[in-house]
Chain A
Amino acid sequence: MIDFLLKETADENLIVLFNGDLDIDSTEVVEEELLPAIENYKLVNINFENVPFVDSSGMGLLLTIVQSLKAKGVKVTISQVNEDVQFIFEMLQIPEILGEDTFI
């Protein structure tokens, strides 16, 4: 289950600090709370520092976030992914799906 914290930067961009596992139980939180809150920014950075685990539904959710924001003209970047999670992302070629420049 994921929790998130929003932080606006000086240049009116948004940093989303994820906290917890990005998993099947996060669906509601993400779709109903997070997405409406961030879709009006130009640039959103999602910080994965405190995400120790992901599951397949959680990754599906991540793809939905990035792709739906992209469709609305919001550029999303993802940073500080821990090593174990990054390994899984790479195995599933998620950086290639989202575009290599998404991961910073």
Chain B
Amino acid sequence: MQSIVSKGKTIQEAIETGLNLLEVSKDEVNIEIIQQESKSFFKMKSKAAIVKLTKLEQKPIQKQESEENQIDVDPFEVINDWIDNIPDSKSMPEFLTVEQENELKQDEWTKPQSESLTGNAWVKNGVLLCECSPTRFPMVTIPDGVKVYRNNQIIQERTFVMTEKDEYKIQLESEEKETSWELVMDPQKLHVELHIEPGYKITRSLCDTEPAQHIDLVIEERKEVQNTLSYEDVVNKLADLGVKHGFHQGEIIKATEASEPVVFTIASGIEAIPGKDGYIELKINTKTENKLKENEDGRVDYREFKTIPNVEVGTVIAILHPPIPGKPGRTVTNEPIPPKQAAHVFVKIGRGITVVDNKIIAIKSGRPYFEERGNIVKFSVMPKLIHQGNVDLSSGNIRFMGDVEITGEVCERMKVEAEGNIVVHKSVNMASLTASGAVVVSGNIVSSEITAGKNNIVVAEVGNLLEPINKDLIRIIQIMKQLMSSPGFKANDLSRNGLQPLIKLLLEKKFSTFPALIKQYVKTVKKGENYLTDKIWMETAASLSKLFLSLSKEVISIEWIMELSKKLQELHELSQMPVEPNSYIVIPNALNSRLYCSGDVKVTEQGSVNTKIVAGGKLNIKGALRGGEVFGQLGAKVNEAGSESRTPTLISVPRDQKIYIDTAMDGTSIKIGNAQYNFIETRKHIIAYLDKNEKISFE
């Protein structure tokens, strides 16, 4: 019995589809509903109706009907008729004998009429064919990129049931893409790249498929590359871009032959070879800092400090290597590329030094001194003064243009000033030590003021003042220029009286705060005069004062002011540069004192009590910090901060630095940038930093 299962949106539709497939009418089948259709909102879960149609043994029914209709017909005749009809097997394939079937199977499948192909589909010469049997309908699966039309209507399902009576059309799309290409020149005009994507044509054909009950349509793709790029195209485009230099002919030809998207460098310029900066080659060891080493107990052996390297007259301290200029390059458009300029090193000659043929030579014996700030290096030879015994009323204050070593104490109200380092073997009590270099004291520091790297401190101070001054000065220049080009402004008095009347007008209101800034700068420079070895600070102070404070009658041009502004800018930048090597302070203990240093400060023993410390470098207190305020520009490390009696103790660092405290007691405050944190109970192993929200956090 032949039966099929059929689907539809409604039961009615499902039955009709089934009947169509079976090519029978409704009353020739038995209908069994397998699934009712169901709908829900938005068709999200709608189910198809499914029915099973079973073909009824129609003939007997027909006979019966005919019997009923023609009662008068002889039943024997009817049977005879029926028997006569038996050999007519064509109309009733079910009655084929096994023998016949075998015969048919031996036939070639290419014969679509062949009986063995019933219920199969196949593809021959690009045509989809099928033969249905009443019991089997072939299934065909459609691959991606292929459209199959049944009676000019596209089939949406992936797999469909094929019938003989419908007309099927298969649409195979072919693709075609044109060659695309472009030239890309880098901003430096050093390389031209050719990006090419060759065009192609893809043709698809349907492959032959053996007959089967279920076939997949198989598509064959043929891709044909069509690279239409010509050598002339590229050359013309290169000419448009102005490329004149450094072609790679071979690469262009390769590009015209390319079969895949690819990038060719078809022209290259010549890169400039950067110059080599000038540099200083030191011939002696100038680092005394390394001589002060901690032993295993973490204590510093101060006696080691005496082993400062000394130079004799005539020793070559360093060799100045001039910069080696670079070589210019060439762009693909044939323009020269200037090389990076090689920087010069400027040597400043201090005391006891001379330069002969790029060689820096000591002309005095003493400790060689070398300092680097930006591209300026300073050399000098520091003579040394050794003061035996104490510095007191009988010895008087000591001022020396070099290193000073004191074997005794520095007593009450005495002063020691040195352009080099100061070393004191015993204690410093109610005294003041000021050095441009380092300060090392082996004894206790009590109620004293110690300054190391004084020159650097002063330079930083005056340098900072220059920033707002120059900002205003630049604006003044701008306004002057703007005025001079204004239609209502007559500039002829400027050549007679100079800029002073105009400056006076500007200072009247617009820059009324400017003179105060200059006054402060002039004052600060004067105060630090002894430590500002470079005369340029005093010169700029004098120029600014003449121009904006005394308003002298001297004729001054705008160019002169611009020149001054440039000088201020350079000085400010110079003052912001790190100094190498920087100075430092190393002491065992400090009590009620003040320590200023442009570099590191190290307190190596019991610690610091009620002392103010400002370190331009790192601050390291090996012992306790009880009371006072300490600051470390490059971070602070304290073993124990605060005290049982909750003495106020403040440790501060800039916002980008960390504070390390092993034990912080109640009363200790830390400040990072502008954020402050107060400890209200003892806390251990602290590493504090400023987090993204500008709040103090602990690691």
Contacts and interface: CB of A to CB of B under 8 A. Distances in A.
Nearest to B486: A88
Given A24-B493, A53-B489, A84-B486, A59 B505 contact: yes
A23 B492 contact: yes
Interface string B498-509: 010110111011
A54 B479 contact: no
A55 B486 contact: no
B487 A84 contact: yes
B509 A54 contact: no
| Interface core residue of B491, B496, B504, B505 (most chain A CB under 10 Å) | B505
Q: Chain B: interface secondary structure?
A: helix
Given A84-B487, A87-B486, A91-B479, A55 B505 contact: no
Contacts of A80: none
A55 B509 contact: no
B110 interface: no
Contacts of A92: 479, 483, 505-506, 508-510
Nearest to B488: A84
Interface string A70-94: 0000000000001111111001111
B496 A24 contact: yes
A69 B418 CA distance: 60
Contacts of A93: 508-510
A50 to B, nearest CB: 13
B509 A96 contact: yes
A1 B305 CA distance: 77
B508 A88 contact: no
Interface residues of B, number: 23
A68 interface: no
B509 A91 contact: no
A94 B506 CA distance: 9
B493 A56 contact: yes
Nearest to B505: A92
B43 interface: no
A57 interface: yes
Given A88-B483, A93-B510, A60 B501 contact: yes
Contact of A53 (B479, B488, B496, B499): B488
B274 to A, nearest CB: 45
Contacts of A104: none
Nearest to A81: B488
Contact of A88 (B488, B492, B497): B488
A29 interface: no
Contacts of A86: 488
Interface string A9-41: 000000000000101100000000000000000
A57 B493 contact: yes
B514 to A, nearest CB: 13
A84 B487 CA distance: 6
Interface of A: 21, 23-24, 52-60, 63, 82-88, 91-94, 96-97
Given A56-B494, A60-B505, A84-B487, 10 more contacts: A21-B490, A24-B501, A54-B489, A56-B501, A56-B504, A59-B505, A63-B505, A88-B483, A92-B509, A93-B508
Interface of B: 479, 482-483, 486-494, 496-497, 499, 501-502, 504-506, 508-510
- Which 3 residue pairs spanning A and B have beta carbons closest together? A84-B488, A24-B493, A56-B502
15 contacts: A23-B490, A23-B492, A24-B496, A53-B488, A54-B490, A55-B490, A55-B491, A56-B502, A60-B501, A60-B504, A63-B505, A84-B489, A86-B488, A92-B479, A94-B509
